[in-house]
Amino acid sequence: MDKMTLHRMEYYGYHGVFEEERKLGQRFYVDLELELDLQTAGLNDDLTQTVNYAEVHETVKNIVETKSFKLIEALAEHIASVLLDTYTVINAVTVKVTKPHPPFDIHFQGVTVELRRTRK
């Protein structure tokens, strides 16, 4: 299966277990791997036969920046569900959500969840 990958899209969202996170917000990174047939679009040089990645970016931006989840796992699930429901040419999607600066007293570069969902 062909793939389209969107790397390290950056958004500002209000997700976290702690009330302060949902109030103040923070940066999040989202990576997507979309599995779909790219051959027809490639042979015909036709955007209508593929997924417009600018639209995908805006779809994800709307989710990350207007919704609020306690867990980045829930955020990733919602992104996957919306993408599969919205873009019927996508057969499977891998969503990676990174919270680069979780509010802990330990030092590390962030936490990431990654999930893959397929069309049912």
Q: What amino acid positions are annotated as catalytic residues?
A: 99
12 CB burial (10 A radius; 0-12, 13-18, 19+): exposed
Chain-centroid distance, C-alpha 113: 11
Cα(120)–Cα(108) distance, integer angstroms:
37
Residue with tokens 């049912």: 120
Sheet with strand 3-13: strands edge to edge: 3-13, 26-35, 92-99, 111-118
**Side chain identity at residue 28, one-letter code:** F
